[in-house]
Structure 1
């Protein structure tokens, strides 16, 4: 029995002191970092890539607690691991050939768009939770960038918030491949405040923000021929039944997608084939064998880690600020009023309108530990609901006697704007 077979079959944790893995062509090394630990990775021979980003030879990469990593090689390579992993194994059963063929088809569409001066492909990646949608988006974007493209990556999965924080949707023009350790460089993403963990919490607001995001992406594409030809890749939530399915169709219409990639869900594939027009190409793709289903507790922990990473950095290399904000210096709102019966509403108003209504809040102890979005709006007369946000704060304490609350902030005082939006998402700073 080889050491690689042992690592695959043994369910216990592994402590590597320079374990060497030799990968043959078209093989994939998969490992997950143990909680409160780290793993150092170095490619000593050959060529390999992580989710479409090429690894540099003899460079040491550090992956922190909870990282799920897959290193694929087209020609063969040698990988050395040091640290503690929860699981590690080499697999030859990987969908990477299918994914690169998908990329090649998209590239042909980009070349045609470039020649005819038209719009590049717009791809919606859909499927249930935990099938690798975010990973596929990352692979497709990285392959496009490696060919000199500048695609737009849009994220409308409010549960994880890869573009901003959980409870937001956003988009980013990508001009460089994702960093192996830290992902895409997010210097100036466009982010909108939604405020909940699921589209179902405020369906009307979710659909409105998705449409708003699509409008702004259209404007951005009109400003740059390169971006327009490169196309848009859209990551979606894993809610695919009932209203979630309607949200997917609404997003497909808002972004005017050309291609829908369905991951590991034949039922959803056939539903979309029947409901969407023929000019939308719908393809069924397999998920990676390394993808595992996460529990609700694991997903909640992932959200906390994403918020903590925003303030402290992936490797705790950021140093956030803490300062007091006076009640009178800010205006605090929540998007969405409690639903009322039709008979109690003003004449001509519908119950759905309350879901996108801006409700002013009086600062109180109920703000404690809540995440706040800083709106880019300069006055309350603006359409704050459809205005993007500049950043995020967390309320760490409230002093009603002094009429101040203390915030954790990535930047020092003063706040860039005084209009704050409350999320239904909480974070306890226990660092």
Structure 2
């Protein structure tokens, strides 16, 4: 790959980068620092969202950014970066061609009164699946489409916090600085773990439920149906993880699968899925780097913190007490028993979807709980979507109250809470 010499941008200095046609400036923000970016002339975009000339954009600690230009531009950076360089080779041309092919499918859907493309991006961890999804959604929105973005990656969470899956109708490009789509009325389901392997039956059950709701929305909203669906997936693609990919493809009735950077996965999917599903192998971007386990943990913490406190726009959550008697805390998934001890007619799979009551105790401290939309215990709590999340900041066993951190003031809108493995230590 032909690249310019790497530079470290030091604090207090402004460094100018002149980009030719079809290349990108890649930079990483140093830990505990922030970097300011300004487009001085020309046209450029970040993951499909256009930059405005002479506007200063701020990126925070650990941010990995790629500024792409089709026609050339001049950019200015200030702040401290780990690295900053201009990459002459980029897969962006391939990604825009993919977008163009998807747009042709949307145009055909308009003419034939059918549904637009449902595309799923798959591949191992750290190959840029989330970025490709963001690009495809942003490009579609810029053409006036209203695609549905589906996130099945419970490890990080683009739509909501880690431990969830969900969907979002996207009406405008992602925010340049925060990287998020506008979260107006997302549909979120509680999984409660950061890996599908912890309860694969529950994961597949929720994927099927989400697919049904997305399909129903397409039947009632013509614009959404034509615009299609873009699906992000987990990086677990072996064994049961591969079967989960197949299950998701069937549940969402995908038309196109983009496989990033793994030829074997591409060949396996071509063998196991129907011929009408287009399966395309594409390279990952040279700017994608492997994330350490510590970095993943920090990213998850940052995502939960962003939910309660915001990022560039601050939010102000509320802390208040809730009586033990006012809430019902449940966990989805019972411990597995030997087949000989199972009740007559019950299968092991049923245990994975069973609701188990969780008595309040100090073990709940710092755990994040989902507030279920279910009104009573007679509702299908497992398959119910959630309205938001709280964090347990304190447990008083004598007074029998929980001190909770919530995004909205008291009272809690629902009483059924679902326990998650995700934890957050509130340092504010």
**TM-score when scaled to structure 2?**
0.98
1:178 paired with 2:155, answer no
1:242 paired with 2:263, answer no
Q: Which residue of 1 aligns with 2:348?
A: 351
Equivalent position to 1:301, from 298, 303, 315: 298
Report SS of the residue matched to 1:301.
Answer: helix
Report SS of the residue matched to 1:322.
Answer: strand
CA offsets, 1:15-68, max 9 Å, x none? Answer: 352211111111100111111111111101000000001001111111111111
**How far, CA to CA, are the matches of 1:87 and 1:399 in structure 2?**
48
More off after superposition, 77-86 vs 101-110: 77-86
**Shift of residue 316, structure 1, vs aligned partner:** 6.3
Equivalent position to 1:64, from 60, 83, 88: 60
Equivalent position to 1:88, from 84, 96, 102: 84
**Shift of residue 296, structure 1, vs aligned partner:** 1.1
Q: Which residue of 2 aligns with 1:34?
A: 30
Q: Which residue of 2 aligns with 1:166?
A: 162
Q: Which residue of 2 aligns with 1:320?
A: 317
1:366 paired with 2:363, answer yes
Asked if 1 retains the 8 angstrom alpha-carbon contact of 2:6 and 2:83, the reply is no
Equivalent position to 1:141, from 118, 137, 143: 137
Equivalent position to 1:126, from 117, 122, 125: 122
**How far, CA to CA, are the matches of 1:334 and 1:203 in structure 2?**
15
**How far, CA to CA, are the matches of 1:406 and 1:279 in structure 2?**
53
Report SS of the residue matched to 2:382.
Answer: helix
Report SS of the residue matched to 2:276.
Answer: coil
**How far, CA to CA, are the matches of 1:346 and 1:114 in structure 2?**
52
Asked if 2 retains the 8 angstrom alpha-carbon contact of 1:124 and 1:260, the reply is yes
**TM-score when scaled to structure 1?**
0.97
**Shift of residue 366, structure 1, vs aligned partner:** 0.9
Q: Which runs of 4+ in 1 moved over 2 A?
A: 12-16
Report SS of the residue matched to 1:5.
Answer: coil
Q: Which residue of 2 aligns with 1:329?
A: 326
Q: Which residue of 2 aligns with 1:5?
A: 5
Q: Which residue of 2 aligns with 1:114?
A: 110
Q: Which residue of 2 aligns with 1:280?
A: 277
Asked if 2 retains the 8 angstrom alpha-carbon contact of 1:324 and 1:407, the reply is yes
**How far, CA to CA, are the matches of 1:215 and 1:427 in structure 2?**
32
**How far, CA to CA, are the matches of 2:12 and 2:69 in structure 1?**
21
Report SS of the residue matched to 1:203.
Answer: helix
Gap runs ≥5 in structure 1: none
More off after superposition, 314-323 vs 170-179: 314-323
**How far, CA to CA, are the matches of 2:13 and 2:407 in structure 1?**
36
**How far, CA to CA, are the matches of 1:108 and 1:315 in structure 2?**
37
1:75 paired with 2:71, answer yes
Equivalent position to 1:382, from 370, 379, 382: 379
**Shift of residue 292, structure 1, vs aligned partner:** 0.3
**How far, CA to CA, are the matches of 1:6 and 1:164 in structure 2?**
35
**How far, CA to CA, are the matches of 2:13 and 2:97 in structure 1?**
37
**How far, CA to CA, are the matches of 1:14 and 1:410 in structure 2?**
37
**How far, CA to CA, are the matches of 2:209 and 2:302 in structure 1?**
28
1:253 paired with 2:250, answer yes
1:15 paired with 2:11, answer yes
More off after superposition, 150-159 vs 356-365: 356-365
Equivalent position to 1:292, from 289, 302, 307: 289
**Shift of residue 14, structure 1, vs aligned partner:** 3.6
CA offsets, 1:135-182, max 9 Å, x none? Answer: 000000000011111000000000001111100000001111111112
Asked if 2 retains the 8 angstrom alpha-carbon contact of 1:125 and 1:260, the reply is yes
**Shift of residue 405, structure 1, vs aligned partner:** 1.1
Asked if 2 retains the 8 angstrom alpha-carbon contact of 1:331 and 1:420, the reply is yes
Report SS of the residue matched to 1:269.
Answer: helix
Cα gap change, 1:39/1:102 in structure 2, threshold over 3 Å: closer, same or farther?
Answer: same
Equivalent position to 1:191, from 188, 191, 205: 188
**Shift of residue 315, structure 1, vs aligned partner:** 2.7
More off after superposition, 307-316 vs 101-110: 307-316
Aligned length: 425
**How far, CA to CA, are the matches of 2:6 and 2:320 in structure 1?**
52
For residues 212-231 of structure 1, what are the structure 2 equivalents within 5 Å?
212-231=209-228
Cα gap change, 1:343/1:135 in structure 2, threshold over 3 Å: closer, same or farther?
Answer: same
Asked if 2 retains the 8 angstrom alpha-carbon contact of 1:13 and 1:34, the reply is no
How large is the Cα RMSD of the aligned pairs?
1.2
